[in-house]
Amino acid sequence: MQASETILDVNGLTNTGPAHRNLPVARLIELSLRRNESSLASTGALVALTGKRTRRSPGDKFVVREPSSEARIWWGKVNQPMSRDHFQQLRAKVAEHFKGRDVFVFDGFAGADPAHRLPIRILSELAWHSLFVRQLFRRPTPEELSVHEPEFTVIAAPNCQAEPAADGTKSEAFIALDFESRTVLIGGTHYAGEMKKSIFTVMNYLMPLQGVFPMHCSANVGDDGGVALFFGLSGTGKTSLSADPARHLIGDDEHGWGDNGVFNFEGGC
């Protein structure tokens, strides 16, 4: 397994504060509270406020236009192009932002089917963001972790803001995906769902190339092996409909349908 310094150097992060790798839940909660990122509710649940951005910002999402992926992307309002120069400029800004700051590292997988799962690494400046991805993505076993090599990396710097006129963004927030360097940069938003959804975007690009149909749906399975899929836009009831006490939940957000059946992109629900 790579040393923390090597992981950060590979991603252009130098002179940072301490790197915290794959910390357990209790330690991440402790650090989040100690760093005043969050608080505890009366039930004991961890509560974090995301400020003015309480949901995803699709208008602030960009994909770098580059030769290896350009012909496979449907460019438009959903997949907005970003130049290589602007991406590199944002990457340098994020690297500068991390100087002297703690870095939280999560190594895991997207995709429950071992034949199609994607090894990922998420570097974040907030302990609770690392807790979020640890709970939402698939956690490796100690043996898997010892040989884990990420195929995509997300660098999340919510307190790093873009300058739209200079950085080619629409606002101070940015979610920029580059298939060439296999990197996602996130800044200007504390909404943790951007980390999850950015990896889902990657899976939606990669899975068809592997003969897998990606789906935005919830899914459950009966004792007879029959799978039910519930399609719908966000907030239309997919999770509620799939939570059937007589059936087993596969997942409630995004799935793949391959030769081995239907599998969850996440580690849970």
Biggest CA–CA distance in the chain, Å, is: 57
Eight-class DSSP state of 139 = P
- Asked if the model's pLDDT at residue 2 lies above 80, the reply is no
Reported as a single tens digit per residue, the pLDDT across 58-73 is 899 999 999 999 999 9
Q: Match 């590979």 to its residue by tokens.
A: 10
DSSP state letters, 85-111: HHHHHHHHHHHHHHBTS-EEEEEEEE-
pLDDT of residue 56: 86
The pTM (predicted TM-score) of the whole model is: 0.93
The per-residue pLDDT for range 16-63, each reduced to its tens digit, is 999 999 999 999 999 999 999 999 999 999 999 998 887 888 899 999
Strand partners, 156: 124, 186
Other Cβ atoms within 10 Å of 22 Cβ, number = 18
pLDDT of residue 177: 98
Tokens of 192: 């943790």
Contact 207, 213 (CB under 8 A): yes
The predicted structure's pLDDT at residue 246: 96
Q: What pLDDT score was predicted for residue 91? A: 97
pLDDT of residue 5: 63
Which of 118, 87, 260, 121 lies closest to 200, judged by CA? 118
**Looking up tokens 């995803």, which residue turns up?**
56
Contact 121, 154 (CB under 8 A): yes
The CA distance from 37 to 34, in Å, is: 8
Under the banding of pLDDT at 50, 70 and 90, the label for residue 95 is very high
